[in-house]
Amino acid sequence: MISRQLYILTTVLIISFQGYSQESQKKLDAKREKLKKEIAYTNKLLSETQSDRSVTVGQLQLINVKIDKRTDLLATLKQEVYYLDNKIEKTESSLFDLNEELRSLKQKYSKIAWHAYKYKTAYNKLIFLFSSDDFNQAYQRMRYLDQISSYIRKEAERIKNVEEEKNQILSQNKVEKLEKSKLLDIEQDELLELEKEQAQKDRLKTNLLTKEKQLKSSIKDKEKQSKKLAKQIQNIISSEIASKKDVSGKVYGLTPTEKKLSSSFTSNKGKLPWPTERGVISETFGVHNHPVLKKVKTKNNGINILTSKNSEARSVFNGKVVGVTKISNTNIAVIIKHGEFFTVYSNLDKVDVNKGDEVTTNTVVGNIHTNLKGRTELHFEVWKGTAIQNPSYWLSQK
């Protein structure tokens, strides 16, 4: 039989857990909705690239992005179910404790009610009082009868309150179980979608393997453009460094304004806005295995962001345009200096800034090119002096 004190302690612990659980569940709910929106947006991008009937590596990359997000969504759903299981377990434990307390209260109430019944009439009360040995005993008996009446009223109210609390918790338990059932249904639907996407990925890979020669040619063309862009960036950075040399060849340090800008840029690491309004990362920084061709690796000096048609590239921070360079007929790159840092926006087909322009955060620098297959992709890089950085570490996680 649980004591009232132990019950109160248990209830406090349950409420504390539920408060934490609700906060965690809110975050999971928000994450689930965010992932659903990202999957929907990826589907939109996929529909744009599929307007061209030919199968492309770009489509495969988008399918991979969608599979990753779907997998993350499933993991989030499992976490939500886990939290609900815990809540249901705690709720049922609380119900058990309340039932025990009700049983105890009703036992006590029935005993005291029996005593009250014995003296329920005025006649019995008078006999009980007048059979006292003296006035003091009569006074004590009168107080005893009043206390019994008061105790019965309090215990009856207490039983009523516990019954109400029990009914509330029962309703909560029903809601939690219904919510869990809905989540399990959603999880099952997402698993079916994931299976379809995996099958679609396998079909695309099989199809693309028949185009090995075309894929290798495309890789060489991209490598050529990447090297040209890297050379242009290095030339611009070298030119910036050279502009700080005096006649003896000594290089001056950053100006106070440049130092302040560099410090501000550094303090915003992981918080910089994306260079596109919306988008998904189609290729991350570094060396990667080709998604189709075995034993073929590709290198990316930045990240590639797939976005919608007619999208614009935007500056991620205050700075100065130090270069606008043409990589190919449909690929113009803009380089912006932020103190000792540089950001690069490549694969633009129209530029809205000129060399020497001062820009602020979110200034539109140009329109992102959409190729004949409906693919709209920005290439974005971050440099610290002559050292390449991983842009994912600098941009916010949205």
pLDDT in tens, 190-211: 889 888 888 888 888 888 877 7
Asked if 164 and 95 sit in the same domain, the reply is yes
Q: Which pLDDT value is given to residue 363?
A: 95
> Which range marks the domain in which residue 60 is found?
4-208
What confidence score (pLDDT) does residue 151 get? 61
Do the domain assignments include residue 224? Answer: no
Q: Are residue 188 and residue 302 in the same domain, yes or no?
A: no
Single-letter residue type at 397: Q
Are residues 311 and 182 part of one domain?
Answer: no
Please report the pLDDT score of residue 379 as a whole number.
95
Residue recorded with tokens 């059979």: 131
Could you give the C-alpha distances from 307 to 9, 38, 287, 345, 347, in angstroms and in order?
Answer: 54, 12, 22, 14, 12
- CATH at residue 359: 2.70.70.10
Same domain, 203 and 259: no
Q: Are residues 180 and 273 in the same domain?
A: no
Residue 335 included in any domain: yes
Q: Are residues 49 and 165 in the same domain?
A: yes
Rounded CA-CA distance 41/59 in Å is: 14
As a whole number of angstroms, the distance between CA 311 and CA 14 comes to 50
Distance, in Å, from the CA atom of 60 to the CA atom of 82, rounded to the nearest integer, reads 33
246 in Cβ contact with 252 (< 8 Å): yes
Residue 71 lies in a domain: yes
Strands (E), the chain: 280-283, 286-289, 297-300, 303-307, 312-314, 319-328, 331-338, 341-351, 358-359, 364-368, 376-384, 387-389
The C-alpha atoms of residue 302 and residue 282 are separated, in whole angstroms, by 11
Answer whether residue 113 is part of any domain: yes
pLDDT of residue 89: 77
Final residue in a domain of this structure, among 208, 232, 267: 208
- Number of Cβ within a 10 Å radius of residue 143: 10
Q: Is residue 165 domain-shared with residue 262, that is, in the same domain? A: no
Sign of CA dihedral 11, 15, 20, 21: positive
Q: What is the pLDDT of residue 367?
A: 95
Same domain, 261 and 156: no
Write down the pLDDT at residue 12: 42
Residue 159 lies in a domain: yes
Supply the pLDDT for residue 154.
67
Whether 350 is covered by a domain: the verdict is yes
Residue 231 lies in a domain: no
Supply the pLDDT for residue 2: 41
pLDDT in tens, 316-336: 999 999 999 888 877 899 999
Assess whether 45 and 187 both reside in one domain: yes
Q: How many helices (H) and strands (E) does the chain have?
A: 6, 12
Reported as a single tens digit per residue, the pLDDT across 268-279 is 999 999 999 999
| Residues 53 and 124 placed together within one structural domain of the fold | yes
300 in a structural domain:
yes
Q: What is the pLDDT of residue 159?
A: 64
Alpha carbon 263 to chain centroid distance? 28
Q: Look up the CATH number of the domain holding residue 83.
A: 1.10.287
The mean pLDDT values, 10 residues at a time, for the chain of 398 residues are 42 46 73 84 77 69 87 86 79 71 65 56 47 61 60 65 69 78 86 87 82 80 85 82 58 76 93 93 88 82 92 95 87 92 94 94 94 88 91 89
Point out the domain boundary residue: 151, 183, 208. Answer: 208
**Cross-strand pairs, 286:** 300
Q: Note whether 279 and 190 are same-domain residues.
A: no
As for how many domains the chain has, the answer is 2
Query: Same structural domain for residues 326 and 181?
Result: no
42 and 73 Cβ atoms separated by less than 8 Å = no
